[in-house]
A and B are shown apart, each in its own frame.
Chain A
Amino acid sequence: MREIIRIMTAPVPDSLEKHCSSCHPRYSQQFLLVILVAVSLIMLPVSAADQNGPGGYAGIQWERMFGGSLAGQGNAVILTGEGGYIATGSVTGSDGKTNLYVVMTDGSGNQIWDYHGEKETYEGNSIIETADNGFVIAGSSGDRYGDGLLLLKLDSSGNKVWSNIFRIGQYGQANSVKQTSDGGFIVVGSVKSDDSSPTGWDGYILKTDDKGNEEWNRNFKGQKDDFGNDIDQLPDGSYIVTGSTESFGSGGKDLFLLSLDSKGDMAGFTTFAGQGNATGISVFQKSNGGVALSGTSCPSASPGSGCEATLIRTTALNETQWEKSIPLSDPGAGIAAGESFNGGYTVAGFLGPNDTRGPAGDLFVTAIDDTGNEVSTQIFALGQIVEISGIAALPEDGVVITGSAGETGSQSRTKFSIGRIWTSRGNTAKAPAQTTEQKNFDLTVLVREEHTGADIGQALVYLDGSAAGLTSDTDGSLPLSAVSRGQHSVRVTKDGYEEITRKVDVESDTSSTITLSPSKVTPIIVHGPVEDKIDVVFVPSETEYNGDTNQKIPVDTYTSCRTAFENDVNRLISSYLSLDSVTSRNIGLPADFRDRMNFYYYWDPDNFADAFDGCAGTLPAHFWENAPFTDVAVIVYPTYIGYYTGPPGEPNGCASGLGLGSHIWFKISADAGRLIYHENGHAMFGLVDTYCGDTYYVENDPDPNVWSSESACIASAKAGQWDASVCYQIRGMTSGSSSGTCVKQFWDWDPEPDIMGNGAYSGTFGNASTTRITYIFNSINGGKS
């Protein structure tokens, strides 16, 4: 549009102006046609430009979520010998149980295979590739570490080879595993004998053979908590260990470097106090001799401002050569240091508030040479990844991270994720100062499918709220040029997927991968825009009820079988479509009443409705954010067993209010027969009960089916040319009955069996109810339906 305006207001060249002023027909028409063609060409959608290659810029190359619909968390990730990545962590099922999870990808983050722990409630904390191209995972019990340490071997295709559980004391956690020169494994972690242990947590080192059978173990303990976090084997067969100790050193929490000989006997021990609360996270031998340690250091026990990532270089004799500290926001959220290009190091972590390097929460990747001098620092916004638990520095350029990523805007669920970040290579890395002169950059938005990682074309991308273009069918990308430096919002929409908005920091030419989840709202019958129709959304319940025993029963009828729910919904929809069979033919419904309703169902595999949490039940979390257009939500549960026998039993059906609109829903069993007409009569049409009971009466307006006076009822009957003598006071068991002690100061006209009365399971809607139903159909969108 800006281009169009520019052309319209551009000065007209003299030569053309002469032609125009003379109004020569031939030239005038040609000029106008030229303009028309030019304008038309400008109006054509801009085709996607070629995408930059991933190595052409620094930025997030890709982010991927794994684990299907399960919530999850990645804890450790490594580069494989094949150039792909493998990560471990956990996923959590709808039953709340945590299972170990491993996923292997190719170099582009496309899943090759994944492994779900079977019955083990463990999470993977460390993973290595073995000499036979398999993988070994060290993990801990997800249940307060109460089920011991897990060592698991997978083959190169993700098949389980063996697993061993080591129960030492009451609690145990394995934090790191490495393969030893004899083909066995060395594991480091922590154990605690019981809750009353006077020495708290103790460091623990376990040596196994190549089948995971224990050969020896060692404890590292003092009078307080001591934790082992990482271990490596040196060429002479000895070991180096790092972690944290409160039992030794300065008296606070110190980072330590422990040396063991090949038999596991202590050969040396050094502590680094840091700022008083220091933890060693990784340790590795340098190829040119000596050791490098990385960790964190904070001024107080509670991580907060002032924390630092620490890199320590020692000689082969464990003498400190240099220490390097880099400000760090969240020491618990991941820091990594690995040997990098030219014998240097890569350190990565989060930026804190008021950090001059960039916005808080962004990832920094700092390159350091082998003398401790900073080579470059690059800053990256993390797209959908909201928490990092594992980072691996890659030998050439960049880091791979794992953690959890948030789903669509309103969602609280986080999923197992991996991200690959490119940094500029080696000593030629772009330092922030080199880019400050440039104000605009290229931003490539890559849109992927959540589960498969497949490219999504024709997704509409909005930059800062304005439509920017459609992604390419070829690779799901949309290149955007001249994007100003700073933070931008990228909103992506596409039919069939949940809309999503992500913040993207643009500090250089970069790319941002946005993953789309399937929409939680599935259209079944849609006759028009939501504003013009009554939108009915069916929601599955994970509970039903036994009226004989007054018990709510968890059921998996729907949660385990989406098709079963779809079948029941289709049956319920047929009730809506045959509404004219139960309404008064004297009044009649609009001929196109079926076309005035849209039907959908809602499916969130992690959140189901509970039909028996309160009278009308409760809808899934975030339902209104995900399906805000809903006029009437219908919570469907499979069946009501037995009969209602009075309080404290729960009713078969219940409506949250009278008349469609915001916050209106009702519950119904799939086998409730015509009771759905009664409940829908409340919720969709605002009809009031006409049976006598301890329920809610009001004269609904306009076109009531219940009146607060006999005279008002008679007046309405006369106006409708109905028999005015049929107005009865609501009393007894049924309207029109003169017996019984129940009497209400309300009157109704519709004869029994009335669906809103005692004919709820077998009756029809009378003239009054049908008149109101027709009024509602004619009132949608101000009567424009």
Chain B
Amino acid sequence: MHTTEARLDRIRGFAPPRPHNARTIAALTSNPGCARRAIMDAAGVDKARVAAHAGFRAPFGQSQFAITRGNAFEAQVKADGCAELLRLLREQLHLPIPEVSYDDLEYFGGERRSHEARHARTRALLGRAAASGDDAGTMFDHPMLTLEVGGRRVYLEPDLIAFRLRDRFHVVEIKSFAVIDGQADGGKVAAAVIQSAVYVLALRQLMEATAAAPPDIVADEVILVCPENFSNRPVAALLDVRKELTVLQRQLARLERIEDLLDTLPADLTFDLEADEAGVPRRPPGELAEAIRVVPARYAPECLSSCEMCFFCRDEAQGETGALGRDVRDDLGCVEYVPTALALARGEAEPSPEQAEAAAVLRLACRLRSESLPGGEGPPPAAGRWPGEEALGEAV
């Protein structure tokens, strides 16, 4: 019997697993119904490389201007033992902060440390701080947390953990999108909030593991720090992450049941790129694409902004009403394929019993459209114009 880990390794192939971070864990909640994504993320597959080799390079990329700006802003907030941040917490959030010390967990003992070493030190320091009744607070910079995700240990680096603000640990997230007149982009804040929730979860697990304090010593409010208006001055906001914690916990629990999904897949399935010594992928792209298609996807246009496989899955979904949008498929009575919907609308196809109601709506829509357009509906479908129409014939 193969273990889950071994099976996932087989699917990934020889490449090392892409390390998870808070962003990728948070992304587990962005399309939980997609088996393809679930398997690839669980196995640590480099989705961008696989997509590129299959002929569908992902459109994502980050501008160095954005990266530079983000780093500069974070450095500014943390400078001088987090002086700016402390001022924010005191003045804006009115958090009563006694004297605060600063601990950098990335460099200690004079040198840069490994993940394990940093995590061990983080555990020790945070555990000690939690158990002590001391009034003083600490800013923990570059802490290293862990989380069990799909059976694998993941290392996570929150920006900062602030301690003993109202007797609690608060996760601090520094982002470089602006807060203008008290408002920020809802999607970006949502992403920051769910990433922070990942850290809160990890920190609570750490408290449980060290038994230093009950897990609720970690506040379910995180501190988001962003630039204010058009300047570089930071502004802070408290955000409640309870909802996101619920969602995350549920999705992580589902990930634990990845074997159920694996059981449905052939044992020899692999997305390995068969790279040669120079690292150049040698696997025939068509074969890779076939392997990918074995695992069903749940494509929606929203994937275009959140998953590196989006172009591959979109191409595969051509002809599906879902590719036009979840609401469009809904409006077409959940009929799955475009040619089917049109055939039903024109009365050219007999609807199955399940399609009867949708067909009635579509026929009415088609009639109304013809009546309302000056020239009627438009030219009848040209034969063979639609790729794969023959293959979809039986779906009608």
The yes or no verdict on A and B being binding partners is no
